[in-house]
Amino acid sequence: MPIILTSVEDAHKELSKRIADAEHIAAFTGAGISTESGIPDFRSKDTAWTRNPPIPFNEFMASEKTRMESWRRKFTMDDTMKDAAPNIGHYAIARLVADNRIHAVITQNIDGLHEASGVPAAKIIELHGNGTYAKCLGCDVRHELSAVRRKFEASNRAPACLCGGIIKTATIAFGQSMPEQQMRRAHAATLQCDLMLAIGSSLVVYPAAGFPVLAKENDADLIIINREETALDSIADLIIRAGIGEVLEPFAKRDRLN
């Protein structure tokens, strides 16, 4: 049975000890780590996401009309999140990476806030891609969103690449294949860790949620930090049921683990 802590002070003590004792820590993050930056998660009701839900891959590919609608939703969402900046949770993870405590950050997030908080790109594994730029599905060349948006608004058409290919945000849409290299890296980081910190994920979206499961199967400890129950609570060693910022706040400070 997992230990469940709801007191933030108890969580600080227990987490400090377990982080100090572990040799290889992998963080596994979800949309919940970015809610304190003003980006809603998928589980909350009546958010900008519910009004502008992402379009599944097969529908995006099916017609220019759905691609235009997809870009309209994307730019609407970008406008609602344009001031989003890393929060204390992101900075705590960045600090733990800098201190060589966390060795890999496996994230389902597409918002780029781990990198913005100072985690080196080489330590971040973006399972669902990145929504801060776009790519051609044909030749894989990168397109900046500002240019895509200018063309979209000027022509009222879904912009195409010079090669003729379809341009799409560099995210993995529902129904799109997972990125092979990122999946391989996440697999390796999971097998290497003796502690996985699953932070702000409902742990229902697969294959991503398979990594905390794999960590447990490989005898690593699993700590879940989430203000609500998750789908993997039953296999966790420790559950911290509180806000991410308040739980991770001491770790954003350099002297905490010394």
Catalytic positions are 128
Token pair of 215, please? 């960590």
DSSP assignment, residue 208? T
How far apart, in whole angstroms, are the C-alpha atoms of residue 86 and residue 93?
11
Closest approach of Cβ 37 to ligand NAD, in Å? Answer: 8
What are the angstrom distances between the C-alpha of 207 and each of 175, 177, 231?
12, 11, 14
Helix, coil or strand: residue 20: helix
How far apart, in whole angstroms, are the C-alpha atoms of residue 233 and residue 3?
10
Which of 51, 254 has the CB closer to ligand NAD? 51
**If binding is defined by CB under 6 A, does position 86 make contact with ligand NAD?**
no
Closest approach of Cβ 51 to ligand NAD, in Å? Answer: 13
How far apart, in whole angstroms, are the C-alpha atoms of residue 256 and residue 17?
11
**If binding is defined by CB under 6 A, does position 110 make contact with ligand NAD?**
yes
**If binding is defined by CB under 6 A, does position 230 make contact with ligand NAD?**
yes
- The count of residues interacting with ligand NAD (CB under 6 A) is 25
How far apart, in whole angstroms, are the C-alpha atoms of residue 203 and residue 28?
10
Closest approach of Cβ 244 to ligand NAD, in Å? Answer: 4
> Pick from 5, 19, 27, 39: which binds ligand NAD (CB under 6 A)?
39
Nearest of 130, 131, 138, 132 to residue 161 by alpha carbon: 138
Closest approach of Cβ 224 to ligand NAD, in Å? Answer: 9
**If binding is defined by CB under 6 A, does position 159 make contact with ligand NAD?**
no
**If binding is defined by CB under 6 A, does position 115 make contact with ligand NAD?**
no
Q: Hey, CA dihedral for 146, 149, 153, 158, is it positive or negative?
A: positive
**Stretch 186-225 residues interacting with ligand NAD (CB under 6 A):** 200-202, 205
* Interface with ligand NAD (CB under 6 A): 30-32, 34-36, 39, 41-43, 108-111, 128, 200-202, 205, 226-228, 230, 243-244
